[in-house]
Chain A
Amino acid sequence: MASIHLQNIEKRYGGFVGVQNMSLEIADEEFLVLLGPSGCGKTTTMRMIAGLELPTGGKIVIGGEEMTEIDARDRDVAMVFQGYALYPNMSIYENIRFPLRMRGVPASEHDARIRQAADMVELGGFLDRKPGALSGGQRQRAALARAVVRQPQVFLMDEPLSNLDAKLRQSMRVQIKHMQRQLKVTTVYVTHDQIEAMTLADRIVIMNKGAIQQVGTPDQIYSDPANTFVAGFIGSPPMNLIEGTAQNGTFVAPGVTAPCPEYVRGKVTLGVRPEDCHVGGDNVQGMVYGVEPTGDTTYLTVLAGTKKIEVKAAREYRSDIDVPVAIHFDPAHLYFFGEDGQRIRGAA
């Protein structure tokens, strides 16, 4: 329904910078996921888009209109709050109905829309309860229903599924994506869950300490990380980051040698994902530190020098600890980062 442009927005709390110099173009109908560690400024960014927080610098444009100083009420944005923010004095039915009443939706449409929203979050049987009589996960779903009951310009969802069990979370995820595609509402979604981010997003924004680290499709973020922060944040277990030196096309660290392009020189960090490491070969000479079978794969931790390297081994792999082991890296999937943490790319 509307594109969102953030132009150099910034939020300071006294001397502390919550969000710094953030520029982002969110396309109409896009599903954008904000991902980052706790306290990196995700909620603050959402609140600025919603109009609940005034940026201390920069401009916010929604649907082509400058909105930086427009009141939250006039932005036509629906938000799922991290803390639910249900109205404690109203039943769930009245909670979901409140935005319809306030936005002047004809009363004859209310009932059908409320029941549709409640059914979507599987809360149909709880409509006459007060929020105080619901579990945490049920409250969260009620908050989601209240946000999606009307069709706003923008959805903002701040960890809307964080309190649900794995099964419900999976089905809600599908519901949210289906609904977003159907209603074609531009959506900004915050999560800590990488699976959620990967499955829902058209594009992912990785944030750290109030600044954007990388913006890209889930594939780009995963297979083409821009810096060590993104590389170490995405994936579970995350990418191995090994500090060493490179010269003449060879990377060397204690217990590790690997081929590298000629243009990689000096102090660098080698990144390699656990699934691109295989038992055998000659890139790592180390000791088995731990073996963790999980059912469908076995995680092997190898100690090379003082560095622990995670390896995704075959399902049936087993070993005692403190036994010598050799590891092979898939040479097509090695990443090199400079001293500043940024990816070193060829002159190409």
Chain B
Amino acid sequence: MRTDAPSVSANGVATATPKPAPRRRSPALRKAFPYLLLAPALVYLLVITLYPGIFAIYQSLFVVKFLNWEWAGLGNYSSILQDREFWAALGNTALIGAISLSLQTGIALAIAYFAYRDPFIRGWRIVYLMPMLFMPSAVAFIWKLAFNDGRVISDLLGRLGLIEGNMDWLGSIPLARMTLIVADVWQWTPFLFIIFVAALQGQDQEIEEAARLDGASWPSIFWNISLPMMRPVIVVAITLRGIDITTMFTNVFVMTQGTPGGATETMSYFIYRQGFRMFNFGYASAASVLMLVLTVIIAQTVVKRAFHSGKK
């Protein structure tokens, strides 16, 4: 029997406060609990990322002719580093990626800065989201149609009187690269736009008001205040997008196949060609490993530098 007296409240009326029984877990379960929580993520990581990764590193040390694996040590790596096509692919990726990334970042920032105060932004966001929701291969096919097969864009430009006849978009190096850039910018600017709008909306409105009272014009508010405050968000967004662009494959595969003369061959397409057209699996694996290392190093330095000078 419980002996504690019922508590008496200020006005003299007795009230019984019900006490819930404390819940207990068995010690074994309590110990295992964190691991149970981690298990799904760990399994996912092992199956999807770690196993193929380790397999690629292992395979990159062999010259592979289907089932016949021949130990090559670092041979694949040394021949890749002397392969002109590899360096060309690296250069193409850097050039196309840099132009595309700066374009989409600039456009997204500009639209976001002008649009984020718009009360109808919720509605707009759905419209802007659409390109991202399409399947990448479908987008690539649409642009392939528009540029090459369907000649939609040539036709439009012709009607505007800007060009005569049909443009051969794959006929010149800059034009072929441009088609890839246009497709990528079209599909991914909205992603950056939405992130930047969220960042701008998260900024304290009073800070901008203070700047107005201090006499700042809107360009100088943007330059001195909004942009620096968005810096961490911009860095993260660019890093994510940069990794994505570095591995650009679908558009190349569907739209240009690396033509003309390899001018649009990206790293991913180079690896694909080595592996699945020429069946140099060991060579392709070695190139993938090099690319992984490169991506990680670049992403690390960018993020580190941006966040360090941002804090101080």
Interfacial residues, chain A to chain B (CB-CB below 8 A)? 50, 52, 71-73, 75, 77-79, 81, 83, 85-90, 98-99, 102-103, 130, 146
Whether A89 pairs with B206 at a CB distance below 8 angstroms is no
Contact-size category for B: 20 to 34
Whether B212 pairs with A72 at a CB distance below 8 angstroms is yes
**In the complex with contacts A81-B206, A83-B204, A85-B206, A99-B214 CB distance below 8 A:** yes
* Chain A CB within 8 A of B233 CB: no
Whether B213 pairs with A87 at a CB distance below 8 angstroms is no
Whether A85 pairs with B204 at a CB distance below 8 angstroms is yes
Chain A neighbourhood of B231, CB < 8 A: 89
Residues of chain B in range 232-276 having any CB-CB distance to chain A below 8 Å: none
Q: How far is the CA of A99 from the CA of B215 in the complex (A)?
A: 6
Whether B212 pairs with A87 at a CB distance below 8 angstroms is no
Chain B neighbourhood of A52, CB < 8 A: 209, 212-213
Whether B224 pairs with A98 at a CB distance below 8 angstroms is yes
Question: In the complex, what residue of chain B is closest to A76 when comparing beta carbons?
Answer: B215
Q: Which of B210, B215, B228 is in CB contact (< 8 Å) with A103?
A: B215
| Chain B window 205-224, contacts with chain A (Cβ cutoff 8 Å), 1 for yes, 0 for no | 01101111111110010001
* Chain A CB within 8 A of B229 CB: yes
* Extra pairs beyond A79-B213, A87-B211, A102-B211 (5, CB < 8 Å): A50-B209, A73-B217, A79-B210, A89-B228, A98-B224
Whether A85 pairs with B220 at a CB distance below 8 angstroms is no
Chain B neighbourhood of A75, CB < 8 A: 213
Q: How far is the CA of A85 from the CA of B224 in the complex (A)?
A: 14
Q: Which of B210, B228, B310 is in CB contact (< 8 Å) with A85?
A: B210
Q: Which of A72, A77, A79, A85 is in CB contact (< 8 Å) with B207?
A: A85
Whether A98 pairs with B211 at a CB distance below 8 angstroms is yes
Q: How far is the CA of A73 from the CA of B214 in the complex (A)?
A: 7
Chain B neighbourhood of A73, CB < 8 A: 212-213, 215-217
Residues of chain B in range 150-209 having any CB-CB distance to chain A below 8 Å: 204, 206-207, 209
Chain A neighbourhood of B19, CB < 8 A: none
**In the complex with contacts A83-B206, A85-B209, A98-B216 CB distance below 8 A:** yes
Question: In the complex, what residue of chain A is closest to B203 when comparing beta carbons?
Answer: A88
* Chain A CB within 8 A of B305 CB: no
Q: How far is the CA of A318 from the CA of B203 in the complex (A)?
A: 56
Q: How far is the CA of A79 from the CA of B213 in the complex (A)?
A: 7
Q: How far is the CA of A88 from the CA of B225 in the complex (A)?
A: 8
Chain B neighbourhood of A72, CB < 8 A: 209, 212-213
- B261 CB to closest chain A CB (Å) equals 47
Residues of chain B in range 9-33 having any CB-CB distance to chain A below 8 Å: none
* Chain A CB within 8 A of B84 CB: no
Whether B215 pairs with A87 at a CB distance below 8 angstroms is no
Whether B225 pairs with A102 at a CB distance below 8 angstroms is no
Whether B215 pairs with A102 at a CB distance below 8 angstroms is yes
* Chain A CB within 8 A of B312 CB: yes
